Every structure is written in C-alpha cells, then in structure tokens.
C-alpha cells in the first residue's frame, strides 16, 4: 500500500491545492463569504476543548505515553476539535461554499462536460470560474453522518498506545477522510454505491495518503478553515487529472462493474 500511495502521488494533491488556491484569487470568493462565521466557530471550539478537555485527557495519557503525553494530548485535542468543527461547519456553514470551490476548479481545468451533469453553467470566459457557476442540478457532498462520528469515537482509545497508537489513529482518520474527498466527483460521474466502493477498494492507498495529509493540515488551529478549502481544491485537481488520465494512480476511469454492464447492454 505504501508503494501504491507513493506511486500515485496522491499525497501531493493537498499541497498542490494550497498553491493553486493561493494563485487563483477568483476561487477565494466562497471562502471569503464564510470566513467570519467559520473562524468564530473554530476559535470557540478550540478554546473550549483546551479549557475543558485537555487536562483531563492529559491526566490519563500521561500514564501510558509518559513524557510524550503533552504532545499526544495536544494532537488528540486538536483532532477532536477538528471533528467538531467539521461536523458543525460542513452541515451548517460551508457545505455550499466547498461545492462551489470544487466545481470552480473543474471549470478552471476545462472539465465542463462532467460538471454539466451536476449544475448549470453560465456563459462567459474561464477567467472567473466561480462566476460561471449556475444553479445546482444535483445535491452536493454528503453531510457528516452519525456513523462517521461513532467510528471516530471507537478509534479514540488508540491514543492510549504510546506514539504508535496516535500514528495509527491519524492514519485511520486519514482513510475515512480520504474516502469522502471525491463524493462530488463520484456524483458527477453518476456512479452507484457498489461502483464507488469498488473504486475506493482498488485505490485504498492513494485515498488514504491524500486523506492523511489533508487531516494533518486541518488539525492546525484556526487555519483549518483555509485548509478545508485548499484540500477541496486539491481533490478537484486530482479529479481533473483522473479525467485527463494524467495520473499514475490507475488508468481505470470507470469501475469494472460499470464496464461489464455496458458490454452486457
């Protein structure tokens, strides 16, 4: 899996997303429209968690992690804060803005054919991709589900294992995060759940690599809102490269089950 992840270069897309986002100011509009409320939410949640959750968790982790407890507890508290911020912001604040950002990148990369499956596009040039976005035809990303929250809580005890447990915890979070980064792309491709599951199973390593880097970036206090958008940009760039067959991840652009059904027809 490590070899497959390295070969795919998927772990680079969150970094590419940062530079692409910073260099394309027209993509900032969705972020700027949601910046104030999301920053307020982020600061409030992080402050609350460090005041009320940090010391109790440190008192427990110090018995299993020793001198490293301070570091692992900080990482754990940030991870918990990130989960809460993601749960609240994606469901109530920035979901539409993230979809606009993802779709805007597809417009900038001239992937309008696939994008037309999910929203109307206005006339005009490509200098302002956000301005070309029209009404949504299909509902966007899936919302944060109770199942994901339960899975997160189940993973928390891993942090009691010194160092290795924390690393495994982050990797598992990365895998979960990675499986959701192309929800919009799969929707535009009109893939069924079995087809999506097949694709994700075949490409577990690349998606875990992307998700792990994205998770680590979104753990950074306050800046997590920026990285939520830059990671979305990275995911859209990755989707565009898959469409252009400009990735070594796989040459398969349609899951095999779909191909088989097409042949049967």
User: What pLDDT score does 16 carry?
Assistant: 97
Is residue 100 within 8 A of residue 30, CB to CB? The reply is yes
Is residue 178 within 8 A of residue 208, CB to CB? The reply is yes
User: What pLDDT score does 144 carry?
Assistant: 57
pLDDT per position as a tens digit, 237-260: 999 999 987 666 554 445 665 555
pLDDT confidence bin for 145, thresholds 50/70/90? low
Distance (Å, rounded) from C-alpha 68 to C-alpha 62? Answer: 8
User: What pLDDT score does 168 carry?
Assistant: 86
Q: Which of 241, 245, 89, 117 is nearest to 190 (CA)?
A: 117
The mean pLDDT value of the chain amounts to: 85
- Identify the residue with better confidence: 229 or 219: 229
User: What pLDDT score does 143 carry?
Assistant: 58
pLDDT confidence bin for 230, thresholds 50/70/90? very high
Token duo for residue 30: 């969705």
Token duo for residue 234: 């990275």
Mean pLDDT of all residues in 150-164: 75
pLDDT of 161 over the 90 cut = no
pLDDT of 120 over the 80 cut = yes
Q: What are phi and psi of 253, to 5 degrees?
A: -105, -10
User: What pLDDT score does 241 carry?
Assistant: 93
Token duo for residue 123: 């006339």
pLDDT of 50 over the 90 cut = yes
């Amino acid at each position: 899996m490590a070899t497959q992840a390295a070969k795919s270069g998927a772990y680079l897309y969150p970094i590419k997303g940062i530079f692409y986002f910073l260099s394309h100011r027209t993509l900032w509009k969705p972020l700027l429209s949601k910046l104030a409320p999301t920053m307020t939410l982020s600061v409030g949640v992080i402050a609350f968690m460090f005041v009320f959750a940090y010391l109790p968790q440190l008192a427990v982790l110090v018995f299993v992690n020793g001198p490293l407890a301070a570091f692992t507890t900080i990482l754990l508290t940030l991870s918990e804060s990130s989960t809460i911020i993601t749960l609240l912001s994606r469901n109530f604040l920035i979901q539409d803005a993230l979809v606009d950002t993802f779709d805007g990148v597809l417009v900038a990369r001239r992937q309008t054919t696939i994008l037309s499956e999910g929203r109307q596009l206005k006339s005009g040039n490509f200098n302002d991709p956000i301005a070309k976005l029209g009404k949504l035809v299909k509902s966007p990303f899936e919302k944060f589900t109770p199942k994901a929250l339960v899975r997160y809580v189940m993973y928390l005890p891993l942090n009691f294992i010194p160092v290795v447990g924390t690393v495994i915890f982050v990797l598992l979070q990365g895998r979960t995060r990675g499986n959701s980064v192309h929800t919009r792309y799969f929707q535009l491709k009109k893939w069924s759940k079995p087809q999506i599951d097949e694709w994700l199973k075949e490409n577990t390593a690349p998606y875990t690599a992307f998700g792990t880097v994205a998770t680590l970036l979104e753990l950074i206090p306050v800046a997590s809102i920026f990285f939520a958008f830059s990671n979305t940009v990275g995911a859209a760039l990755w989707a565009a490269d898959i469409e252009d067959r400009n990735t070594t991840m796989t040459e398969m652009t349609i899951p095999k089950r779909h191909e088989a059904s097409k042949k049967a027809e």
